[in-house]
């Protein structure tokens, strides 16, 4: 039997509305690659680009990877997948990979946000999501940053500097964009307006979280997990610490790679 | 001769109407509201006076309406846009019983009496879906002027079904329709139908009765008039003054007050609690 068969590499790919993330795991443990590309309008092109970038980062060929599991809203659009798994399942599993004591997952992406309650093995017990409207998701902050003419990458750090947050009364992202322009003309500080915008999203996702039951530890995943202002707003309102790491944005892709690994083990045992 | 005015400060445009002592429209003004609401109100009032050849200080009474009505510094009183739209629509089309007002940032359905009094209303001002902003977003993504999209939508032979409600998400949906090679007119046909669908849902809550009058900035859009008429299966009253209906109603309230010598109380309508919000 060839020796490479003992090492099992799986690729997890999370095709989200904002970014497409790909990771390669070896034996469901070692991270060989993790890359992000912008999703854009063609979902299967984005997935193919992310897969190619991950393989190249790991110095591997497609044939070196035993199984590809796709998740995220574009999962059905990727012909290169062996299986597709819902993002709820993947985020729960991926959050436990990053923080083993996770019981609640808050996933805030570009176009949807989810609260997931899971057990000690990362199995989903209950979840709630909002994917009907941009309020409470990353697109809300995109609109606000556009209204304020600040780069999206800077808003989190700016918001942390707020001394007197300006409440944002509009829930709708489009109406909030006009509201923040009015706040600017009234002389409000940029950082105070931004802190208000982050608080608005925090309120909406925490409402989801309360519906599934808040329990320690809470892990933040999704594209907004890199935003320091978001973490601060969530912790202030929850009154507890939130797990976050630079890899939190990859939780869905990690979960897919891990669940792909388990699936492959089952298939091999069966054959 | 006595003159009176109404100034309607909307989220997108500010409008003014000047009436003479007989209630005849003698001047109008319009400009984008922008960030400086006070300046917009002053500008349209002065424009209306200029077109009529009337000095501003000769205008006896001014009523402000619209979301910025408290920021009309020369206004003698304020009246909600609901009451003003009812009053103004009644003046333009006396048989009006139902009003659909689609503005830049909100949509209202108003049921009115034969005298132009508000009987019931409900509105969506929580969410941009079904408002002018939704059309603006579509126009921006398609790289067309807001004034062009209505006519383009009328060329549609097979309007697409727009599945998203959220204005932000619709932008991505339009981009993917374009990527699939769908025709711009069919995308726009779908966009106009989507707004018509949401407006009609709002109208049903107050009850639809002929005649239906279309007011607000979006009433200038021929595609929207067509989509609403098709969905309601009835004629829709609309004319070039439709965008000024709120300001016209405010000016008529001004005239009543001047004629009475005192300020008769104007009952502020209450939104039917069971009807509140058109939200998501």
**Site from A16, A45, A143, A175 to mutate, B interface, most B CB atoms within 10 angstroms:** A175
pTM of the complete model: 0.82
User: How many angstroms separate the CA of residue B13 from the nearest CA in chain A?
Assistant: 13
| Distance from the Cα of residue B214 to its chain's centroid | 8
**Cβ-defined contact of B105 to A178 (cutoff 8 Å):** yes
**Cβ-defined contact of B166 to A134 (cutoff 8 Å):** yes
Residues A236 and A133 in one domain: yes
DSSP A18-57: SEEEEEEEETTTEEEEEEEEE--S-HHHHHHHHHHHHHHH
Residue A247 has pLDDT above 60, yes or no: yes
Residues A57 and A149 in one domain: no
- pLDDT, tens digit, for every residue of A81-100? 999 999 999 999 999 999 99
Q: Flag whether A185 is in a domain.
A: yes
Residues A195 and A231 in one domain: yes
Query: Does A173 contact chain B (CB < 8 Å)?
Result: yes
Residues A121 and A179 in one domain: yes
Instruction: Using pLDDT thresholds of 50, 70 and 90, give the confidence band for residue A204.
Output: very high
Taking Cα atoms as reference points, which of A260, A241, A233, A249 lies closest to residue A98? A249
What is residue B9's predicted lDDT score, i.e. its pLDDT?
95
Which value does ipTM take for this structure? Answer: 0.77
Range of the domain at A216: 100-244
Instruction: Using pLDDT thresholds of 50, 70 and 90, give the confidence band for residue A1.
Output: very low
CA distance B279 to B126: 6
In this prediction, residues A60-86 reach a mean pLDDT of 94
Q: Flag whether A158 is in a domain.
A: yes
Q: Could you tell me the end-to-end alpha-carbon distance of chain B, in angstroms, rounded to an integer?
A: 50
The chain B residue lying nearest A138, using CA atoms, is: B168
What is residue A40's predicted lDDT score, i.e. its pLDDT?
84
**Cβ-defined contact of B127 to A111 (cutoff 8 Å):** no
**Cβ-defined contact of B168 to A171 (cutoff 8 Å):** no
Query: Does B146 contact chain A (CB < 8 Å)?
Result: no
In chain B the domains, ranked by start, together with CATH numbers, are: 3-126+198-275 (3.30.420.40)
A39 close to A74: Cβ distance less than 8 angstroms = yes
Residues A66 and A110 in one domain: no
Q: Flag whether A214 is in a domain.
A: yes
Residues A238 and A251 in one domain: no
**Cβ-defined contact of A175 to B128 (cutoff 8 Å):** yes
Q: Flag whether A173 is in a domain.
A: yes
What is residue A177's predicted lDDT score, i.e. its pLDDT?
87
A21 close to A249: Cβ distance less than 8 angstroms = yes
Q: Could you tell me the end-to-end alpha-carbon distance of chain A, in angstroms, rounded to an integer?
A: 16
What is residue B277's predicted lDDT score, i.e. its pLDDT?
43
Residues A201 and A109 in one domain: yes
Residues in CB range of B128: below 8 A, 6 or more apart = A172, A174, A175, B105, B134, B137, B167
A142 close to B172: Cβ distance less than 8 angstroms = no
User: How many angstroms separate the CA of residue B166 from the nearest CA in chain A?
Assistant: 5
CB-CB: which of B133, B168, B175 is closest to A41?
B175
The chain B residue lying nearest A170, using CA atoms, is: B126
- pLDDT, tens digit, for every residue of A19-38? 999 999 999 999 999 999 99
Instruction: Using pLDDT thresholds of 50, 70 and 90, give the confidence band for residue A101.
Output: very high
Residues A165 and A82 in one domain: no
Taking Cα atoms as reference points, which of A180, A189, A196 lies closest to residue A232? A196
CB-CB: which of A132, A171, A185 is closest to B35?
A185
What is residue A7's predicted lDDT score, i.e. its pLDDT?
82
- pLDDT, tens digit, for every residue of A109-146? 998 999 999 999 999 999 999 888 999 899 999 989 98
Number of domains in chain A: 2
Residues A173 and A233 in one domain: yes
Q: Flag whether A81 is in a domain.
A: yes
User: How many angstroms separate the CA of residue A133 from the nearest CA in chain B?
Assistant: 5
- pLDDT, tens digit, for every residue of B24-38? 999 999 999 987 889
Longest dimension (CA), chain A: 73
Q: Flag whether A17 is in a domain.
A: yes
Query: Does A150 contact chain B (CB < 8 Å)?
Result: no
Three-class SS state of A77? helix
**Cβ-defined contact of A134 to B137 (cutoff 8 Å):** no
Residues A18 and A54 in one domain: yes
Residues of chain B with pLDDT under 70: 1, 262-268, 272-280
User: How many angstroms separate the CA of residue A122 from the nearest CA in chain B?
Assistant: 31
What is residue A93's predicted lDDT score, i.e. its pLDDT?
97
Average per-residue pLDDT in chain A? Answer: 93
Residues A180 and A213 in one domain: yes
Residues A184 and A65 in one domain: no
Domain harbouring A215, CATH code: 3.30.420.40
On chain A, the residues whose CB falls within 8 A of the CB of B162 are: none
């Amino acid at each position: 039997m060839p020796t490479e068969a003992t090492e099992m590499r799986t690729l997890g790919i999370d095709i989200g509305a904002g970014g497409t993330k790909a990771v390669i795991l070896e034996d469901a443990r070692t991270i060989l690659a993790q890359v992000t590309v912008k999703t854009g309008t063609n979902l299967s092109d984005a997935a193919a680009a992310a897969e190619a970038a991950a393989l190249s980062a790991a110095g591997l060929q497609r044939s070196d990877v035993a199984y590809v599991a796709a998740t995220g809203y574009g999962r059905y659009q990727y012909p290169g997948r062996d299986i597709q798994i819902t993002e709820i399942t993947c985020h729960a599993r991926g959050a436990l990979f990053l923080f083993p004591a996770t019981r609640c997952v808050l996933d805030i992406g570009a176009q949807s946000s989810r609260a997931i309650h899971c057990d000690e093995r990362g199995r989903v017990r209950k979840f709630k999501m909002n994917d009907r409207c941009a309020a409470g998701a990353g697109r809300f902050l995109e609109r606000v940053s556009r209204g304020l003419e600040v780069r999206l990458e800077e808003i989190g750090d700016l918001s942390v500097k707020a001394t007197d947050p300006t409440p944002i009364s509009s829930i709708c992202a489009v109406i909030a964009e006009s509201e923040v322009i009015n706040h600017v003309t009234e002389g409000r500080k940029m950082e105070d307006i931004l802190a208000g915008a982050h608080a608005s999203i925090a309120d909406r996702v925490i409402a989801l979280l309360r519906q599934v039951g808040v329990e320690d530890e809470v892990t933040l995943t999704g594209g907004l997990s890199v935003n320091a202002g978001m973490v601060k707003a969530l912790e202030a309102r929850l009154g507890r610490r939130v797990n976050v790491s630079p890899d939190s944005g990859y939780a869905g892709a990690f979960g897919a790679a891990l669940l792909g690994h388990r699936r492959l083990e089952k298939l091999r045992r069966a054959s | 001769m006595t003159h009176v005015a109404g100034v309607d400060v909307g989220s997108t445009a500010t409008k003014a109407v000047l009436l003479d002592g007989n209630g005849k429209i003698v001047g109008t003004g319009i400009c984008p509201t922008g960030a400086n609401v006070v300046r917009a109100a002053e500008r349209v009032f002065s424009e209306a006076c200029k077109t009529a050849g009337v000095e501003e200080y000769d205008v006896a009474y001014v009523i402000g309406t619209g979301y910025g009505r408290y920021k009309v510094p020369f206004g003698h009183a304020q009246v909600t846009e609901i009451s003003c739209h009812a009053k103004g629509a009644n003046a333009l089309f006396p048989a009006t019983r139902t009003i659909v007002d689609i503005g830049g940032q909100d949509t209202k359905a108003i049921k009115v009496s034969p005298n132009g009094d508000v009987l019931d209303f409900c509105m969506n001002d929580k969410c941009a879906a079904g408002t002018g902003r939704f059309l603006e977003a579509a126009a921006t993504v398609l790289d067309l002027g807001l004034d062009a999209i209505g006519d383009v939508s009328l060329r549609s032979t097979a309007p697409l079904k727009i599945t998203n409600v959220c204005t932000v998400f619709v932008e991505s949906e339009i981009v993917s329709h374009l990527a699939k090679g769908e025709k711009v007119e069919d995308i726009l046909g779908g966009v106009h139908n989507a707004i018509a669908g949401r407006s009609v849902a709002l109208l049903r809550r107050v009850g639809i009765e002929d005649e239906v009058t279309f007011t607000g900035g979006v009433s200038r859009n021929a595609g929207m008039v067509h989509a609403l008429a098709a969905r309601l299966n009835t004629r829709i009253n609309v004319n070039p003054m439709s965008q000024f209906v709120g300001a016209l109603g405010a000016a008529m309230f001004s005239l009543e007050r001047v004629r009475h010598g005192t300020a008769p109380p104007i009952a502020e309508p209450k939104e039917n609690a069971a009807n509140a919000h058109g939200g998501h």
